[in-house]
Amino acid sequence: MKTSPRRPLILKRRRLPLPVQDAPRDTPEEEPKKPPAQEEPSQAQASKEVAESNSCKFPTGIKIINHPTMPNTQVVAIPNNADIQSIITALTAKGKESGSSGPNKFILISYGGASTHPSGRQPQPQTSNDSKRTEVITEILGPKPATRDANVLRPPGPTLGQRLENCAGGDTTGCPLDNSLTNIQWLEKMSSDGLGSCSIKQEMEEKENCHPEQSQVKMEEPSGTSTSWQDSVSQRPPYSYMAMIQFAINSTERKRMTLKDIYTWIEDHFPYFKHIAKPGWKNSIRHNLSLHDMFVRETSANGKVSFWTIHPSANRYLTLDQVFKQQKRPNPELRRNMTIRTELPLGARRKMKPLLPRVSSYLVPIQFPVNQSLVLQPSVKVPLPLAASLMSSELARHSKRVRIAPKVSPGSSWLNVTPFTLPLLPFQLLLADEGIAPLPTAEPVKEEKPLLGEGLLPLLPIQSIKEEETQHGEDMPQLARPIKVESPPLEEWPSPCPSFKEELSHSWEDSSCSPTPRPKKSYSGLKSPARCVSEMLVIKRREKREMSRSRRKQHLQPPCLDEPELVFSEGPSTSRRATEAPLLAEPVSHLSCLQEEGGPFKTPIKETLPNSSTPSKSILPKTPESWRLTPPAKAEGLDFSPVRTPQGAFGSLPDSLGLMDLSTTPLKSIPLFDSPRELLNSEPFDLASDPFSSSSPSDLEVPKPGSPELQVPSLSANRSLTEGLVLDTMNDSLSKILLDISFPGLEEDPLSSDNITWSQFTPELR
DNA sequence: CTATGTAAACAAC
DNA sequence: GTTGTTTACATAG
């Protein structure tokens, strides 16, 4: 079999060092390229800037509204293009002046002022029903490893709201968090200037300027950072195709994308592919899509369009922003890698080497679904373990209301939130610490990689808590919408939890629980992952090897959510369907998850079937391969592999996740976030002190895990989940929150006017 | 050996 | 020509 007749022998393939720049394409071309992406109506309207009363010292467009129910709290709507840092500074000053008697807490929300989407991708016609509402938030992209072309090209403009592009694109309706105020980039910038020397804006510009074409930039930037950015344009991004595909898909609200959109997304975010890479990269993308089981192809209802999605069980909802942020963390090692790569001469550089740097410090961003009404507070007062337990029990009780959505639904409330990873608040850190430390079961650290711990916890399976209602809600009509699936669904999901070492090396499939391979067919429609039993691991492994020959995967995924799924043996509620399974967080599951997380991305490929090695064609019907979750292989390293979330595992509540994540982050990271200058200094992180008790803003919105707050009433269609920041001038803290704001018209920018419905804020805010 | 990248053959549209 | 699937091979770790 080795030699394939059809294929010529290629002894050596070596890519030519470097190509030419495609200069031609750059600048001018892009503009035309973008279709007038349909801008969301809302944005246009949002542009109305009204400077209201209060905003005197603030830039125009800022709206400050007293919170209806919270004393000394004001909501500040900041246009995308505003200089946040300066605003924060001003607010801080204002708060200080007022002291305890005046407004000292500010909820910052960004809104799309005059939004222009720089690069709107043409939206795909078909989908997006709900897209409109996400526009509110503007995406701020900054520090992506690769600058986006569009951004680059765009004149240094608006700092905050750079682009909605993805969101706008096709299915990609919205990327709520990406756009949000709390966008990492944004925060990072703030953090970067401890001295206040640089403005966010500046930094943004820096980055943007990195575009190859704008060489002048280089000069401007004395610091090494700029160079790296620049390089990013011309350098191959340190991500594997698999990772990039995930980023792309996850950048959309519905978590699905057409092949073309994936190409586009990648080109936009990694100019390298647009300008430098050989055309073959697209082939590689396709190859990866087909190869990895985590990528599931769904067909639109009419059967005309194929969307690539990420298997819910495997999807970690990683986004470029998150990952980038992680990378940015001060991690000497990591940096070293990156820089090295960049420094090498092209010829010397290995083509793709370390696409994914494996660094222990590389944390995997956590994404968790946010309950619509749930407000995420970075600083959660409940210790992780406790919270988890509470959640699990509580939630379980209320399973009706809250359930884990195995599948990402389009309009779903899953958001990528990375609050914990941000070195924002001291108290956050404390929290994290608290949560974790006590954790008895706390993640097992691999012997091999002590650091692993960092990554592990965060990796816990993410479950989304979503209200059932929401599913039916208008927001996400699609959920219910049947998509025609051609391929057999994976019915069972391998549980991600194989144990340890073994599984580290395994790939998802290995983990597949079922001892016997099942035919895919039988499970049509089943999306929810089933739990797997670790027992199988060994066996699987063996099988896997045998089959390893073929990397093929094939299947179409049905969109159906309802199918029955497998239960895991250990699983608490076997009968329960994955989707509904409440969060049961079990230590065990966590562990298992951990493992998995640790893994680099393994490709889940091999077929589970023993016989499958055969050439595929014959097997039209999808092979039964179980979909494999990625192997938990090495712990270290950023894991782009899908997370399998065992349902139970899901226990990882957002909070817990966050905590964990934080925990992983060393305190040192804290310093990063300097900005609003004084903030940082004030509350050092003394773990001992309990930030929660007093002033921390956290009181405002922190949902307690077990508390009723989590359960929020169904949301209205017009709601908008927005990320915001809470600036508490009393304790100089800045924390990230998720706000659920409802507004009258979907089409309207909720924040653009005074139409915010306060009542809609989550209970916590009241 | 695994994970990943690359190239290519093919098939179905 | 595009999209998908598979096979084969290269390479780094």
Report CA(A121)–C1'(B2) in Å, whole number: 37
Reading the block at residue A634, the tokens are: 């090495």
> What angle (nearest 5°) sits at the alpha carbon of residue A60, between those of residues A208 and A57?
110
Report CA(A158)–C1'(C9) in Å, whole number: 47
Q: Which nucleotides in chain B have some atom under 7 angstroms from a protein Cβ?
A: 1-11
The pLDDT score that the predictor gives to residue A68 is: 57
Q: Which residue lies nearest B4, CA-to-C1' measured? A: A240
Reading the block at residue A114, the tokens are: 């005059």
Strand pairing report for A73-79 and A105-111: parallel
Q: CA-to-CA distance for A217 and A220, rounded, in angstroms? A: 5
The pLDDT score that the predictor gives to residue A318 is: 78
The pLDDT score that the predictor gives to residue A610 is: 37
pTM of the predicted model over 0.85: no
Report CA(A608)–C1'(B2) in Å, whole number: 17
pLDDT along chain A (766 residues), means of 10: 35 35 34 33 33 46 67 71 69 68 71 42 36 29 34 31 36 36 33 31 33 32 44 77 91 90 90 87 94 88 86 81 67 39 33 34 31 33 37 35 30 31 29 31 35 32 33 35 39 35 37 36 33 38 43 53 34 34 33 34 37 35 37 40 39 34 33 34 36 36 36 39 63 59 40 39 34
Report CA(A202)–C1'(B3) in Å, whole number: 39
Instruction: Residues by CB within 7 A of strand C: list them.
Output: A 1-4, 7, 9-14, 258-260, 263, 282-283, 286-287, 289-291, 297, 306, 308, 350, 353-354, 487, 549-556, 614-617, 619, 623
Instruction: Residues by CB within 7 A of strand B: list them.
Output: A 5-8, 10, 13, 15, 239-242, 277-278, 280-281, 283-284, 286-288, 351-352, 355-356, 505-507, 544-545, 548, 551, 600-603, 617, 631, 633, 640-641
Report CA(A202)–C1'(C4) in Å, whole number: 44
Q: CA-to-CA distance for A52 and A64, rounded, in angstroms? A: 7
Residue with tokens 């043409």: A122
3-class DSSP assignment, residue A559: coil
Phi, psi of A740 (to 5 degrees): -115, 110
Q: Which nucleotide does the CA of A306 lie closest to, via C1'?
A: C3
Contact (Cβ atoms closer than 8 angstroms) between residue A570 and residue A581: no
Report CA(A554)–C1'(C4) in Å, whole number: 9
Residue with tokens 């899908």: A642
Contacts of A735 (CB under 8 A, 6+ apart): A377, A378, A379, A419, A424, A425, A427, A428, A696, A697, A698, A725, A726, A728
Reading the block at residue A409, the tokens are: 């639904």
The pLDDT score that the predictor gives to residue A288 is: 94
Q: Which nucleotides in chain C have some atom under 7 angstroms from a protein Cβ?
A: 2-13
Report CA(A407)–C1'(C11) in Å, whole number: 36
